[in-house]
């Protein structure tokens, strides 16, 4: 097991385990190769039986919530179903928006075509995401995305539909290293998760620090961002 696939524990008690998932670690077992490392296989030797409450894409880093009992799992699933859990993502994107904040309200349909992409579809499922610009760096921006629904690849598709694809996104943009940033995976990070404790009802808010590659990309942009020419994206 590679050391960098071991998650940082952000919070733990008898009912919950909240981790900062590293990019490269699967949330769930791979259907084709179940021997690949995933969250439970890495964590259960130390923490015992775990239930995955929600998933992050393999290339996405950040806050991930697991339950330590079946009862906690059911209670947390109910919060997700009722849209009571707030998720906040950070993304480094190509382009510089003229606006500061925008609601993207575009219906989505998953698993379309050979590549199983999620697509904008007026007959699809309701999907809403609030986008906010945190920083502008020449040809790039740091964006905050808060999805109000939980569709597959929602943040990635809504950013792409708004004209600002995430750096290194192989499905919704340009998966290329033809850029100056020292990050070589999807530049998406699950920054913060807010929910109620499934037993006590206490409000909890857990934040995952930017991992080294994401932080290095931001440091590069802080130092050199104004020197990068516009990419021509909206």
Backbone phi, psi, residue 168, to 5°: 70, 30
Indicate the helix (H) or strand (E) that contains 47.
helix 39-47
Picking from 117, 187, 198, 103, the residue whose alpha carbon sits closest to that of residue 147 is 103
What's the sign of the alpha-carbon dihedral 170, 145, 78, 205? positive
Q: Around 174, how many Cα atoms within 13 Å sit in the side-chain half-sphere?
A: 11
57: annotated active-site residue = yes
Picking from 133, 140, 100, 166, the residue whose alpha carbon sits closest to that of residue 221 is 140
- Active-site residue (options: 13, 30, 57, 169): 57
Catalytic residues: 57
């Amino acid at each position: 097991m590679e050391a960098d696939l071991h998650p940082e524990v952000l919070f733990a008690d008898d009912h919950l385990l909240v981790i900062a998932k590293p990019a490269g670690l699967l949330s769930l077992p791979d259907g084709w190769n179940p021997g690949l490392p995933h969250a439970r296989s890495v964590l259960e030797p130390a923490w015992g039986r775990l239930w995955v409450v929600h998933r992050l894409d393999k290339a996405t880093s950040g806050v991930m919530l697991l339950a330590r009992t079946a009862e906690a799992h059911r209670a947390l699933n109910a919060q997700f179903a009722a849209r009571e859990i707030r998720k906040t993502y950070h993304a480094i994107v190509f382009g510089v928006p003229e606006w500061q904040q925008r609601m993207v309200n575009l219906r989505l349909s998953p698993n379309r075509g050979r590549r199983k992409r999620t697509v904008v579809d007026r007959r699809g499922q309701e999907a809403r995401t609030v986008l906010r610009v945190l920083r502008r760096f020449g040809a790039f921006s740091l964006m905050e995305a808060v999805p109000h629904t939980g569709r597959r690849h929602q943040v990635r598709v809504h950013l792409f539909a708004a004209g600002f694809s995430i750096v290194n996104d192989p499905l919704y943009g340009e998966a290329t290293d033809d850029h100056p940033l020292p990050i070589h995976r999807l530049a998406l990070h699950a920054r913060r998760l807010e929910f109620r404790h499934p037993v006590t009802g206490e409000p909890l808010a857990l934040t995952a620090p930017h991992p080294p590659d994401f932080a290095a990309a931001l440091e590069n942009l802080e130092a050199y961002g104004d020197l990068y020419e516009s990419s021509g994206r909206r």
